[in-house]
Amino acid sequence: MKPYINRGLSKVYFALLIVVYVATLFLINEGHQNRMKAYVNAHGLQVDQSILDIRNTYENFANFIYSSDLSDDLVVNILDKANNADPLQQQILRSELNTLLQPLYLNTLNYNFRQLHFHLANGQSFLRFHQPEMFGDDLTIIRPTIREVISTQSYITGFEEGRQMSGYRFVFPLFKEAKYVGSVEISVPALNIISELYTTYSDIDIGIIMKREVLEKIYLQEALNNHIVSLLSSDYLIESANLSLIANSNKSIHMIDDAQFNQALYKQIQPKLNEDVSFNDILFYDGKHYIIHFDVLKDIDRSSLGFLYTISLNDELEAMPQERNQLVFISTGVLMFMITIFYFVLKQEENFSQYAMMDPLTQAYNRGTFNDFANKIIALQEREKNDVTLAMIDVDNFKNCNDIHGHKIGDKVLTEIVNIMTHCVRKTDILGRYGGDEFVLLLPKTDLDTAICILERVRHHVEKYSFTKVNTITLSIGVYQIKPGESLDDVINKADIALYKAKSEGRNRIEEYIPS
386 and 503: one domain?
Answer: yes
CATH number at residue 178: 3.30.450.20
Which positions ≥6 away from 149 have C-beta within 8 Å? Answer: 155, 156, 171, 172, 173, 183
Domain-embedded: residue 337? yes
Q: What is the residue-averaged pLDDT of the chain?
A: 87
Which residue, among 396, 401, 391, 362, has the nearest Cα to 474 in the 3D structure? 396
| Predicted local confidence at residue 384, as pLDDT | 87
What is the band of 337 on the pLDDT scale with cuts at 50, 70, 90? low
**What is the mean pLDDT of the segment spanning 177-185?**
94
- Asked if 203 and 141 touch (Cβ cutoff 8 Å), the reply is no
pLDDT band at 100; cut points 50, 70, 90: very high
Give yes or no: residues 225 and 352 share one domain: no
Look at residues 279, 314, 349 and tell me which one is the last residue of a structural domain: 314
| Structural element, H or E, at residue 27 | helix 2-65
What span, in angstroms and rounded, lies between the C-alpha atoms of 213 and 103?
Answer: 39
CA distance 70 to 482: 38
State whether 236 and 329 are in the same domain. no
How far is residue 441's CA from residue 421's CA, in Å, rounded to a whole number? 10
Is residue 388 predicted with pLDDT exceeding 80? yes
Residue 261 in domain: yes
Read off the pLDDT of each residue in 362-369 and give the average, rounded to a whole number. Answer: 91
> Is 261 a residue whose pLDDT tops 90?
yes
Specify whether 416 is located in the same domain as 502: yes
CA distance 102 to 96: 10
State the pLDDT at residue 350: 53
Tell me: do 213 and 255 sit in the same domain. Answer: yes
- For residue 121, tell me if it sits in a domain: yes
**What is the spatial order of strands in the sheet that 125-128 belongs to?**
125-128, 115-120, 179-189, 166-176, 156-161
**What mean pLDDT do residues 311-326 have?**
75
206-220, 334-348, 405-419, 476-490: least confident range: 334-348
What percentage of residues in the chain have a pLDDT greater than 70? 88
Same-domain check for residues 433 and 470: yes
Query: CB of 409 within 8 A of CB of 469?
Result: yes
Task: Quote the pLDDT of residue 12.
Answer: 63
- At residue 1, the pLDDT reads 30
- Please tell me the least confidently modeled range out of 42-51, 195-204, 325-334: 325-334
Domain contains 271:
yes
Asked if residue 234 and residue 99 are part of one domain, the reply reads no
Q: Do residues 506 and 391 share a domain? A: yes
pLDDT reported for residue 2: 36
Tell me which of 16-20, 205-209, 454-458 is least confident.
16-20
Q: Is 195 a domain residue?
A: no
**Predicted local distance difference test score (pLDDT) of residue 173:** 97
Q: What is the 3-state secondary structure (H, E, C) of 436-502?
A: CCEEEEEEECCCHHHHHHHHHHHHHHHHHCCECCCECCCEEEEEEECCCCCCHHHHHHHHHHHHHHH
Distance CA 227, CA 144 (A): 21
pLDDT at 219: 57
Residue 54 lies in a domain: no
Query: Do 153 and 221 fall into the same domain?
Result: no
Query: What is the arithmetic mean of pLDDT over 150-165?
Result: 86
pLDDT confidence of residue 101: 96
CATH number at residue 219: 3.30.450
Query: What band does 220 get if pLDDT is binned at 50, 70 and 90?
Result: low
Domain that includes residue 76, residue range: 71-190
Q: What is the mean pLDDT of residues 463-472?
A: 88
Q: For residue 274, which phi and psi values (nearest 5 degrees)?
A: -75, -15
The average pLDDT across 287-298 equals 91
Q: Is the pLDDT of residue 32 over 80?
A: no
- Domain shared by 151 and 246, yes or no: no
Average pLDDT of span 402-424: 92
Q: Are residues 493 and 378 in the same domain?
A: yes
Q: Is the pLDDT of residue 85 over 90?
A: yes
> What's the pLDDT band for 59 if we cut at 50, 70, 90?
very high
Q: Is the pLDDT of residue 98 over 50?
A: yes
Comparing C-alpha atoms, which of 54, 93, 77, 63 is closest to residue 172?
Answer: 63
How much is the average pLDDT of 155-165?
A: 82
In a domain, 430, yes or no: yes
Position 346 scores a pLDDT of: 43
Domain stops at, among 357, 382, 415: 357
In-domain check, residue 49: no
* Tally of domains in the chain: 4
d(CA 245, CA 260): 20
Flag whether pLDDT at 10 surpasses 60.
no
The closest alpha carbon to 126, from 152, 95, 151, 149, belongs to 95
pLDDT number for residue 335: 58
Q: Is the pLDDT of residue 164 over 70?
A: no
Residue 182 has a pLDDT of 96
- Read off the pLDDT of residues 106-154 as tens digits, 9 standing for 90 and up: 999 998 898 999 999 999 999 999 999 999 999 998 888 999 999 999 9
Q: Are residues 302 and 326 in the same domain?
A: no
Give the pTM.
0.56
- Give the residue from 167, 190, 213 where a domain finishes: 190
